[in-house]
Amino acid sequence: MNDGASVTDKGRNDPGLSTAELEHAFHDMLLIRRFEEKAGQLYGMGLIGGFCHLYIGQEAVVVGVQLALKQGDKIITSYRDHGQMLAAGMDPRGVMAELTGRATGYSHGKGGSMHMFSREKNFYGGHGIVGAQVALGIGLAFANKYRGTDEVSIAYFGEGASNQGQVYESFNLAALHKLPCVFVIENNRYGMGTSVERASASKELWRNGEPWGIPGKQIDGMDVSAVNTATKEAVAYCRAGKGPYLLEMSTYRYRGHSMSDPAKYRARTEVDEIRQKRDPIDHVRNELLAAGIEEEKLKKIETDVKAVVADASQFAETSPEPDPSELYTDVLVEA
């Protein structure tokens, strides 16, 4: 039996985020929100093609996790990946340019929304096959252990992927070799158009690692401080050589599964209620105001974020498309 805890135990054994860290979180969460809103707008204008999965509503998860990491820790996720990229410090210009298929993008305009990478920022994708990134995530963790570092791997996946066979195989291998991997389930309630209540026999996904002795916790994924505290605990467990850890983040996406999804499987009132009562950015804003931060300072952050997003959009729209010769590059590696 593991020593996990449910969402009612937020794991706040430390004082939580400082005011400066909350300001950082507010900035990064707002950047993700405004960036994604602009991406949705550009998609509607036909400037972004293919699949595009927005992160709006889930910002507290990735920002809270990122604030618990150190240089060298690795990140890998699925196709809903723009938030992870921005939280990791990737350039909004390069991300937006890739979304619009421009040569100045992170994958030179050939990867699009789901296939961006940055070795510099230790971001390893961006993967379109459901659950496939989890096995790659424990590969990153194996590399960390093999090299003798105390770096950890963060493997994000959704509740829709949580019952995949390759996920359970990854649990087994990670536990067997005590790999320093934090598995993060972003439970936004809907795997594509199907409620988790209808799709999963297991209702406590944080306990899915129990057969392999993997400890787990369920966390309020709309509270960046709760996310950060739980992630610090999980990361410390991994750095100590004890093996993997599983975190289930209870969160919510405001938009459809992708830009092509009208989300008719849920009531509009459900989305509106969560926006009004549990919005993660409003939560941080209220914490900062309660800590004595002036409203004008928060407005300045918002103004700065809007300028960054506008600059990224303009950069993308004015950047050239890839030369046709790029069709033949990055296909094979010379022996």
97 and 315 Cβ atoms separated by less than 8 Å = yes
pLDDT at 105: 97
Paired with 182 in beta bridges are 154, 245
Domain that holds residue 142: 19-312
Query: Looking at residue 264, which CATH number applies to its domain?
Result: 3.40.50.970
List per-block mean pLDDT (blocks of 10 residues) for the chain, which spans 335 residues: 44 72 98 98 95 96 98 97 97 98 96 95 95 97 97 97 96 98 97 92 96 98 98 98 98 93 91 95 97 97 98 98 92 79
Instruction: Tell me, yes or no, whether 147 lies in a domain.
Output: yes
Alpha helices, DSSP H, located in the chain: 19-44, 59-66, 82-87, 92-99, 132-146, 165-176, 196-199, 224-239, 268-278, 280-290, 295-318
pLDDT at 7: 42
Instruction: Tell me, yes or no, whether 335 lies in a domain.
Output: no
102: alpha, beta or left, given left = phi > 0 and alpha = psi -120 to 50? beta
> Tokens at residue 176, please?
């067997």
Instruction: Tell me, yes or no, whether 86 lies in a domain.
Output: yes
> If you average pLDDT over every residue of the chain, what do you get?
94
The total number of structural domains in the chain stands at 1
Instruction: Tell me, yes or no, whether 333 lies in a domain.
Output: no
Q: Which residue has the tokens 């498309």?
A: 321
pLDDT at 5: 52
Read off φ and ψ for residue 247, nearest 5 degrees: -120, 125
Distances (CA, A) of 308 to 93, 98, 288, 312, 320: 9, 16, 22, 6, 20
User: pTM here?
Assistant: 0.93
CA 273 to chain centre: 23
Instruction: Tell me, yes or no, whether 319 lies in a domain.
Output: no
- Spatial CB neighbours of 301, under 8 Å, sequence gap ≥ 6: 23, 26, 27, 30
216-220 and 194-195 strand pairing = unpaired
Per-residue pLDDT reduced to its tens digit, 258-290: 998 889 999 999 999 999 999 999 999 999 999
- Spatial CB neighbours of 83, under 8 Å, sequence gap ≥ 6: 32, 36, 55, 58, 59, 61, 62, 63
pLDDT at 145: 97
Per-residue pLDDT reduced to its tens digit, 103-148: 999 999 999 999 999 999 999 999 999 999 999 999 999 999 999 9
Instruction: Tell me, yes or no, whether 162 lies in a domain.
Output: yes
97 and 319 Cβ atoms separated by less than 8 Å = yes
Residue type, 172: N
pLDDT at 333: 79
Instruction: Tell me, yes or no, whether 2 lies in a domain.
Output: no
Instruction: Tell me, yes or no, whether 320 lies in a domain.
Output: no
